Chain A
Amino acid sequence: MPASADAPAALKRTFPQLLDRPSLDHPAFTAPAADVVGILQHLRDGHRFDFLTDLTAIDNGEEATPRFTGVYHLYSTTEHKYLRLAANCPDDSEPSLPTVTALWPGANWLEREVYDMFGIVFAGHPDLRRILMWDGYPYHPLRKEFPLSGIETTLPDLEVVAETGTRVIAAPMVGGPFVASSGEINLTEAEPRAKDESWNEQSEKPL
């Protein structure tokens, strides 16, 4: 069994399709999405990276290609080392990655969260439902085009909607109250305050 001290070099010999990924701390690689499960299994069984500590995704921006990148952080509980593996989703409009729930059952919830927040479908996942937002919520909030203030939607419970006629209203801060970039905007624009003042302390929230 190879020690994980030379894991990066050994790994690249075994999987020549791995590309080095810029990283400020741990060894990092970019892998083709189709090979992720095989590489992770090899890391788990052959390099003692037994602990899937984190699984997440990055939205590289609306115009970027590839747009979505899945990121896996592995940890070795015996050798105390981290490793980062990234995989770009091949399709920008219908992103998908293979599931790793067969390797780590703990990936179940992490993948559900990535699906919920980014809309990345994990092929073969046993129970791919939303986890933080409610079932039937129409958006994926961590995508870059989703505004910080939220988007108006109907309440999840149809009975409550029928009874009260209420809906989920976006917060009155379209564009974000936390403007922090100087860039091209003038001082009035950059002032941290609510941009949309259709409702505030003085005028009531529209129903």
Chain B
Amino acid sequence: MATEFAFSDSVAKNATAEQEFQTERMSLSLGPSHPSTHGVLRLQMELDGEVVTKCDPIIGYLHRGDEKIAENMTYNQFVPYTDRLDYLAPLANNVAYAIAVERLAKLEVPARCQAIRVISSELARISSHLLGLGAYGIDVGAWSVFLYSFTEREKLYKLFEELTGARFTTSYTRIGGVARDVPDGWLERVNAFCDQFLPILDETLKLLTRNKIFMDRTVDVGIISKEDGIAYGLSGPNLRGSGVPFDLRKDKPYSGYEQYDFDIPVGARGDCYDRYLVRGEEMKQAVRIVKQAIAKFPGGAWYATDARKIFAPPKDKILTSMEELIQNFMLVTEGPQMPAGEVYFEAENPKGALGFFVVSRGGGVPWRLKIRAPSFCNLSILPKLCTGMMVSDVVSILGSLDFVMGECDR
């Protein structure tokens, strides 16, 4: 069937077919402040009509020099800075950092502390994926998902506030433990949240999963092959969406993840839709882990009691005993004392593998702390992924990668 186009201007009307297809390359700068770039990412693109012919991501707008700062402060002082890496899942960052430094000290925290860390990490995962889901919905034109997911996030923030004293910047872990034990009744409230969350999550996902508009914009868009995903160092749901069952909670269990029963969802095609499905399923698996951790929540100490040069003594002892006062004073002024050496630890964060490479020369301050940010590596595939796509697909791809610039720029 022939399609007729109505042209209003005479030039177009008289143009021959050959002249019509003479195109001009245009450059377009998307961001750094644009709702679809989820933060301060800038894409310098070259367009041929609506097709992207070149894409150059420009990052660094949120660079604060976290690695330089880390070299100038004690290990515990750096915990609040880890909140500001992936600021959608600060609890998970706190946990990853604490474990990395504990590996340096060869310190094992008690089972109760591990369980607290697992519960808080998994709640952070739900919170992060909920935001990713809601924001992705808005990116591709589905507003209501955002409203559902943010209602749930608000409930999570209430739980975080009760646990850590802060909704957003939690700074919950310490080297050798956590800031405080779980409050009375908190675990029951987490359990109640999980119970009511699952049906709401199903309802929320139902808004998108078989939604024609959503599928049109995501299915077979931004396909990442297994090989590409590994070659570019992708991790987290972005790599699992491509069918690689890469999950450090299963492969290199830390903090007692080996005792929980959960599945790793993987995608089949590696497109935006698969990445969305993986995130949806991961939230359900996170609920499973949280419920198991609560069911067998261990008693005992919630911090490493044998690490006197690393974890601060209880407050009441500090105020009454000379020994503990001196110990606390040394800990605050000189930092937790670490042996010299190098460790590299990666944790499975909501965005992917968050790694800390700690180089110590002894004492309370790291010589070098490198942060391996999953969002940084995930974004490095953008030039390859966006080239040849339509501008509207770029928005769809960006949302599906679910990156955070705080972590990318550090």
Contact = CB atoms under 8 A, between A and B. Distances in A.
Given A25-B343, A77-B246, A180 B409 contact: no
B364 A180 contact: yes
A80 B346 CA distance: 12
Contacts of A82: 344
B355 interface: yes
A146 B69 CA distance: 12
A2 interface: no
B69 A84 contact: no
Interface in A103-129: 104-106, 108-110, 113, 117
How many B residues touch the partner, as a band?
35 or more
Contacts of B73: 178, 180
Given A25-B103, A106-B380, A54 B343 contact: no
A88 to B, nearest CB: 14
Interface residues of A, number: 45
Nearest to A146: B68
Of listed B244, B363, B377, B384, residue having the most chain A CB within 10 A: B377
Interface in A7-35: 21-26, 28
Contact of A53 (B59, B355, B368, B410): B355
Contacts of B380: 105-106, 108-110
B334 A182 contact: yes
Interface string A169-199: 0000000101011100000001000000000
A87 interface: no
Contacts of B234: 106
Interface stretch (A91-99, A131-139, A158-166): A131-139
A106 B232 contact: yes
Contact of A22 (B104, B251, B342, B379): B342
Nearest to B62: A132
Contacts of A25: 103, 342-345
A21 B370 CA distance: 18
Contact of B370 (A56, A109, A132, A176): A56
Nearest to A86: B342
A180 B346 contact: no
B231 A73 contact: no
A58 B355 contact: no
Interface string A65-89: 0000001010101001010100000
Nearest to A117: B67
A104 B72 CA distance: 33
Contacts of A108: 380
Contact of B72 (A23, A134, A178): A178
Contacts of A46: none
A36 interface: no
Contact of A142 (B67, B231, B251): B67
B372 A53 contact: yes
Contacts of B104: 24
B377 A109 contact: yes
B106 interface: yes
Contacts of A40: none
B326 to A, nearest CB: 13
B144 interface: no
A51 B335 CA distance: 35
Interface string A39-58: 00000000000111110101
Contact of B341 (A24, A77, A113, A131): A24
Given A24-B106, A73-B355, A134-B60, A148 B344 contact: no
Given A71-B357, A106-B231, A28 B342 contact: yes
B252 interface: yes
B388 to A, nearest CB: 17
B69 A54 contact: no
A104 B63 contact: no
B57 to A, nearest CB: 9
Interface in B370-384: 370, 372, 376-377, 379-381, 384
A203 to B, nearest CB: 25
Given A82-B344, A176-B72, A50 B368 contact: no
Contact of A24 (B233, B343, B381): B343
A59 B364 CA distance: 18
B130 interface: no
Given A22-B342, A24-B103, A53 B353 contact: yes
A100 B283 CA distance: 36
When A and B form their complex, which 9 residue pairs have the shortest distance between CB atoms, in order from nearest?
A106-B233, A132-B60, A106-B232, A80-B251, A24-B341, A109-B380, A178-B73, A56-B370, A54-B372
Given A24-B341, A71-B357, A142-B68, 8 more contacts: A21-B342, A51-B233, A54-B355, A80-B252, A131-B60, A132-B60, A148-B65, A181-B334
Interface of A: 21-26, 28, 50-54, 56, 58-59, 71, 73, 75, 77, 80, 82, 84, 104-106, 108-110, 113, 117, 130-134, 141-142, 146, 148, 176, 178, 180-182, 190
13 contacts: A21-B342, A22-B341, A24-B342, A24-B343, A28-B342, A53-B233, A53-B372, A75-B346, A104-B233, A109-B380, A131-B60, A133-B63, A181-B363
